[in-house]
Structure 1
Amino acid sequence: MFNDVYDVIVVGAGHAGSEAAAAAANMGSKTLLITMNLQNIAQMSCNPAMGGIAKGQIVREIDALGGYSGIVSDTSAIQFKMLNKSKGPAMWSPRVQSDRMRFAEDWRMLLEGTPNLDFYQEMVSGLLIEGNQIVGVKTSLGIEIKARSVVLTNGTFLNGLIHIGDKNFGGGRAGEKAATGITEQLVDLGFDSGRMKTGTPPRVDGRSLDYSKMTEQPGDDNPEKFSYLDVTKPLTKQRSCHMTYTSELVHDLLREGFDRSPMFNGRIKSLGPRYCPSIEDKINRFADKDRHQLFIEPEGWNTCEVYVNGFSTSLPEDVQFNALRSVAGFENVKFFRPGYAIEYDYFPPTQLKHTLETKIINGLYFAGQINGTTGYEEAASQGLMAGINASLRVQEKEPFTLKRDEAYIGVLIDDLITKGTEEPYRMFTSRAEYRTLLRQDNADLRLTPKGYDLGLASEKRLRRMEEKHEAAKEFVSFFEATSVKPEEINPILELKKSAPVKQSGKLFKIFARPNIEMDDVRNIESVENYIQENNLDREIIEQTEIQVKYSGYIAKEKNNADKLSRLEYVKIPENFDYSKIKSMSFEAREKLKKVQPTTVSQASRISGVSPNDISVLLVYMGR
């Protein structure tokens, strides 16, 4: 069956594996995607949604590089929201509710339409290694398949153990068996491994809910989309989510089962995601809170299955049921399946290079939850980068990495490689020092040229990006060159309670005022005429507004990024005494003393050391 030697074998077809296989195949590598169940390609194991805070930026970056996640998120979306619109554009984050079944189907159709990509359904039970070089994989049927590189994206399947109350059983996901053999082999080869935990809430029958007792959560009035390509369109109709709350009664009912909770009776010893805790963990950690939000999310256009976001739990099924029936709107709820926790093996990512290739075995790459991350988006971005680098290695080309000032993907991988993680890692905007540069609106400007050079992003995608960039640049120049008279602008300024002008001045300066928006300046005839004559779309108009209003912040961050880049090789003296720098935060002094970084660049990437601490260090070093 498998006489040929594959360039790349990808093990696992979740979000990481799907992006890895697509990237490698699209770059011309002969690729094999092996999964335990071909019906579950790109399965949304947890919530039916893509994007969110910082995660939406990652999906945009994947799309800009030529990955598939943005396209599939658009084609399977049932609702779109741009989060944090009340804040600055660095915080704007796109998010969609997805049709779970359509999401997986669209992913499979895209992969089946990808040249150079083969599929095989079976469990990989071992790796074929010669010396310190990967040469293939071995399946549970004893079939050996040769390859020049292998990408492991095993998700929660490595020795997965599912917990529901005092019951537990092997499994990588509800209804699917765990994968065995790989962890033990890797440990024998010298890898360190650990255990992590994640969980999921009950799925319920939406027909049994009383939505009149909940608060409706509709999508945006003018929905956008993820992909920069025109192959997808914004939604014209949307499905609403709903919000309700737990109560003291619900909490008391849940507490009755704490003695049977694997979290509290010692059965689960591994750490779960800090920023997505189970409902029992929330009750325990935030005992002063008398209620917690629950978001009721439909699983698709036509199904009645509903995801109860905020009620992740591993409590016994009867406790889950009784407590949920005391939530407003859930009085007659019927379960499709209870929530559960799952423990699984992971490998601390400090054992990887920035390419996601392992340091011990050449040609072996890890991506996704095997590296200690949580979230579809974090997994997909790692899969993309692993697939790219596995393909480049086989083609004997230079590896591809992204710096922290180039992409959230760069921040994610650098955090994992330099800091490691002992709990499931989740991306936040606060993790990025240069988030004004790494906005969701400019991911194509930052990354599409790189994707094009790799052979992933099409020429059409590149041309579209260049046209957008040039149009926005010319519109900014229009504001810089065009003057406006007081009688023309002052009525607008008065309405916005902004100080009037006494003489003619450049539109750029007026538009840069914090309370003046594009809708305001469009009331000026010359501005609206320019937009109409040049047929500018919303994307170009938004890009121009950001470039004008945040030009100072953008320039400052670019300067800081360039400064730190120049200091990449600036050495810190051995045994440097950080205790002398009193103007540096106490946490930073403690972390720097413990880690003893050899360069300023390395110091800047230590958890707990802020950009301000680095500035203080540079001043102290006389730079």
Structure 2
Amino acid sequence: MFENEYDVIVVGAGHAGSEAAAAAANMGSKTLLVTMSLQNIAQMSCNPAMGGIAKGQIVREIDALGGYSGIVSDKTAIQFKMLNKSKGPAMWSPRVQSDRMRFAEEWRLMLEQTPNLDFYQEMVRGLIIENGRIRGIKTSLGVEIKAKAVVLTNGTFLNGLIHIGEKQFGGGRAGESAAYGITEDLVNVGFESGRMKTGTPPRVDGRSLDYSKMNEEKGDAKPDKFSYSDQTKPLVFQKSCHMTYTSPLVHELLREGFDRSPMFNGRIQSLGPRYCPSIEDKINRFADKERHQLFVEPEGWNTVEVYVNGFSTSLPEDVQFKALRSVVGFENVKFFRPGYAIEYDYFPPTQLKHTLETKLVEGLYFAGQINGTTGYEEAASQGLMAGINASLKVQEKEPLILKRDEAYIGVLIDDLITKGTEEPYRMFTSRAEYRTLLRQDNADFRLTPKSHAIGLASDKRMKRMEYKFNESDKMVNFFRETSVTVAETNPILEAKESAPITQSDKMFKVFSRPQVELEDILKFEKVQEYIANNDLDQEIIEQAEIQVKYSGYIEKERNNADKLTRLEDVKIPEFFDYEKIKSMSIEAKQKLSKIRPVTISQASRISGVSPSDISVLLIHMGR
């Protein structure tokens, strides 16, 4: 049926589980992926899109590390947009609208072509834990499968409960049963668990909508792509999304159902995602707003199913239907299925190490919504890191831990294990203090060498990254060393209403002016000749542009990061007794004893630990 013992078993095949299984297997570990439904691998349970603000950076980082999400997103995209292009490159965030069915299909095909990876369809009902160490899993049929490491990526399935108005029933998502037994096993060995909620909008029949009454939302005129590899190409044809709005009438119709809403009548006690609220939550919290945006998103190239982004709800289906029929363009709407809310178990992530291994059980890793996060991208990145570190542990190698100045993934994991979360955690650019360093355009520079060193990123990937790095660096030096004359420069500066130069100057200095853009620099014959002679592609040219125009900001942020890195180097002994420090606050002692930070830098980021507490700790450690 399958092997007697695996190096790594991954439980759950959503975005986290799929990345975890791919990473572990590609690193040479004998891996088993166990899921309740092989037909729903990497299912897009909510909106059919990948990327967005900060999330796009995460997908780029996953790709740079050798994960699959970027490649799958490119191969199954129906529209591409680079968000925030009007702002600096630290804020640029790629996003694709995806073909939901093709996305899951492509993920499964890629996983099936991955060596060292086996599959098994069944519910995992329990864990085999002996002497504080994971030994394997138990299935609903009573089958026991041994493993050296186990990665739990259960999503919304652990004791999942679906709510639609007054109705509630067990389920992990629409049409699929919940998973039982794992939470109980974990609580029995001492884990703390909690409940969270999330929701999803109704899916509707696109043939019943009047798009002529809505605003058309097209993709970029020159679409880019996620993956740094040459396995994918940018889209040639794209499919449009549309936008419409709610109204006071829609809000009034929704309010009529509030007494039947599980959110307002007390049946749902757990917290949902703050930054992706339900429609009833929006009109309750923002009562002064007369309308809210609704994004009408196609679910694929050929299907007529449409996702109503912005209308997440757990109201009774008749209330959902009546209100949605009052939205402009939705007057004759037909439902494929109503929206619903789902409550599920999670485990506060302060119970984890930076590797995503649990502190209580050696060899057991958590990734995705089980850690209190929300979003495909956040889940996939955790799955990737858990899969990598589970494989490294089995191989008795040093773990891979990304720092806050190295990746958004590093910020995400550090936030989770250091601060914890009481509501579904979502990544934003504002959470990263080094976002000028953590741009979507340079994720390969930052992470591919690390991935190559552990045997995940291929030699081909590494060579491609080195070529891009070297050529963009050479181009920056060309700008530094090449002079331009008054005659060829001033017409360009005058057109941009920028002060003219009075003598020949270096091109780097001219290009650094905020008014001067890439298209202006490309007008210089010397630049055109340099690009032609070196056969440079757009990616290298744009990388050189960013390095020139933002060199001051990048250097300043790098210096700040280097200063704080010194605190990362000050390690705290694993079993340090905080209670013996008399002059430290009680709250700090409690938080430090619970979270057990590895470094002084991590300790300083714990909520409730003050700078004076850190000073006392440093003195006590003899620093």
TM over 0.5: yes
Aligned partner letter, 1:559? N
Aligned partner letter, 2:180? T
User: 1:170: which partner in 2?
Assistant: 170
In the aligned structure 1, how far is the partner of 2:515 from the partner of 2:104? 43
Does the 8 Å contact 2:80/2:97 carry over to 1?
yes
User: 1:260: which partner in 2?
Assistant: 260
**How do residues 324-363 of structure 1 correspond to structure 2 at under 5 angstroms?**
324-363=324-363
User: 1:154: which partner in 2?
Assistant: 154
Summarize deviations over 1:533-553 as a string: whole Å, max 9, x none.
111111101100000010011
Q: 1:552 to 1:600 in 2, by over 3 A?
A: farther
Aligned partner letter, 2:109? M
**How do residues 9-408 of structure 1 correspond to structure 2 at under 5 angstroms?**
9-408=9-408
Q: 1:394 to 1:88 in 2, by over 3 A?
A: same
Deviation at 1:571, TM superposition (A): 9.9
In the aligned structure 1, how far is the partner of 2:523 from the partner of 2:329? 46
Does the 8 Å contact 2:155/2:370 carry over to 1?
yes
Does the 8 Å contact 2:65/2:450 carry over to 1?
yes
Deviation at 1:141, TM superposition (A): 0.3
Q: 1:237 to 1:127 in 2, by over 3 A?
A: same
Secondary structure of residue in 2 paired with 1:46: coil
User: 1:518: which partner in 2?
Assistant: 518
Identity between Structure 1 and Structure 2 (%): 80
User: 2:575: which partner in 1?
Assistant: none
Structure 1: gaps spanning 5 or more residues:
579-589
Does the 8 Å contact 1:591/1:606 carry over to 2?
no
Deviation at 1:568, TM superposition (A): 2.8
Does the 8 Å contact 2:588/2:608 carry over to 1?
no
User: 2:557: which partner in 1?
Assistant: 557
Does the 8 Å contact 1:480/1:508 carry over to 2?
yes
Q: 1:318 to 1:31 in 2, by over 3 A?
A: same
Structure 2: gaps spanning 5 or more residues:
573-577
User: 2:447: which partner in 1?
Assistant: 447
Q: 1:251 to 1:592 in 2, by over 3 A?
A: farther
Tell which deviates more after alignment, 58-67 or 597-606.
597-606
Aligned partner letter, 1:486? V
In the aligned structure 2, how far is the partner of 1:94 from the partner of 1:214? 24
Secondary structure of residue in 2 paired with 1:81: strand
Deviation at 1:567, TM superposition (A): 2.4
Does the 8 Å contact 2:488/2:524 carry over to 1?
yes
Secondary structure of residue in 1 paired with 2:441: coil
In the aligned structure 1, how far is the partner of 2:300 from the partner of 2:57? 23
| TM-score, scaled to structure 2 | 0.94
In the aligned structure 2, how far is the partner of 1:349 from the partner of 1:136? 22
Deviation at 1:605, TM superposition (A): 2.4
Does the 8 Å contact 1:26/1:114 carry over to 2?
yes
Aligned partner letter, 1:256? E
Q: 1:43 to 1:610 in 2, by over 3 A?
A: farther
User: 1:487: which partner in 2?
Assistant: 487
Does the 8 Å contact 1:592/1:603 carry over to 2?
no
In the aligned structure 2, how far is the partner of 1:87 from the partner of 1:193? 41
In the aligned structure 2, how far is the partner of 1:198 from the partner of 1:292? 19
Summarize deviations over 1:402-428 as a string: whole Å, max 9, x none.
000000000000000000000000000
Summarize deviations over 1:574-620 as a string: whole Å, max 9, x none.
67799xxxxxxxxxxx9989968997623552469999xx9xxx9xx
In the aligned structure 2, how far is the partner of 1:595 from the partner of 1:133? 25
| TM-score, scaled to structure 1 | 0.94
Aligned partner letter, 1:413? I
Secondary structure of residue in 2 paired with 1:231: coil
In the aligned structure 2, how far is the partner of 1:338 from the partner of 1:113? 36
In the aligned structure 1, how far is the partner of 2:177 from the partner of 2:600? 47
Aligned partner letter, 1:274? R
Q: 1:569 to 1:464 in 2, by over 3 A?
A: closer
Secondary structure of residue in 2 paired with 1:186: helix
Summarize deviations over 1:82-122 as a string: whole Å, max 9, x none.
00000000000000000000000000000000000000000
Matched, 1:436 2:436: yes
Q: 1:87 to 1:402 in 2, by over 3 A?
A: same
In the aligned structure 2, how far is the partner of 1:423 from the partner of 1:229? 36
Q: 1:608 to 1:507 in 2, by over 3 A?
A: farther
Does the 8 Å contact 2:404/2:411 carry over to 1?
yes
Deviation at 1:341, TM superposition (A): 0.1
Aligned partner letter, 2:434? Y
Aligned partner letter, 1:261? S
User: 1:583: which partner in 2?
Assistant: none
Matched, 1:427 2:427: yes
In the aligned structure 1, how far is the partner of 2:589 from the partner of 2:144? 49
In the aligned structure 1, how far is the partner of 2:79 from the partner of 2:125? 40
Pairwise CA RMSD: 2.3
In the aligned structure 1, how far is the partner of 2:435 from the partner of 2:357? 27
Summarize deviations over 1:292-349 as a string: whole Å, max 9, x none.
0000000000000000000000000000000000000000000000000000000000
Summarize deviations over 1:136-186 as a string: whole Å, max 9, x none.
100000001111110000000000000000000000000000000000110
Does the 8 Å contact 1:352/1:359 carry over to 2?
yes
In the aligned structure 1, how far is the partner of 2:355 from the partner of 2:160? 27
Does the 8 Å contact 2:373/2:379 carry over to 1?
yes
User: 1:586: which partner in 2?
Assistant: none
Does the 8 Å contact 1:203/1:337 carry over to 2?
yes
Aligned partner letter, 2:247? S
In the aligned structure 2, how far is the partner of 1:608 from the partner of 1:499? 51
Does the 8 Å contact 1:17/1:153 carry over to 2?
yes
In the aligned structure 2, how far is the partner of 1:250 from the partner of 1:429? 33
Q: 1:481 to 1:84 in 2, by over 3 A?
A: same
In the aligned structure 2, how far is the partner of 1:6 from the partner of 1:406? 32
Deviation at 1:2, TM superposition (A): 3.9
In the aligned structure 2, how far is the partner of 1:121 from the partner of 1:35? 5
In the aligned structure 2, how far is the partner of 1:415 from the partner of 1:511? 37
In the aligned structure 2, how far is the partner of 1:102 from the partner of 1:569? 45
Q: 1:534 to 1:415 in 2, by over 3 A?
A: same
Secondary structure of residue in 2 paired with 1:441: helix
In the aligned structure 2, how far is the partner of 1:464 from the partner of 1:601? 34
Secondary structure of residue in 2 paired with 1:442: helix
Secondary structure of residue in 1 paired with 2:106: helix
In the aligned structure 2, how far is the partner of 1:28 from the partner of 1:566? 34
**How do residues 545-584 of structure 1 correspond to structure 2 at under 5 angstroms?**
545-568=545-568
Q: 1:124 to 1:600 in 2, by over 3 A?
A: closer
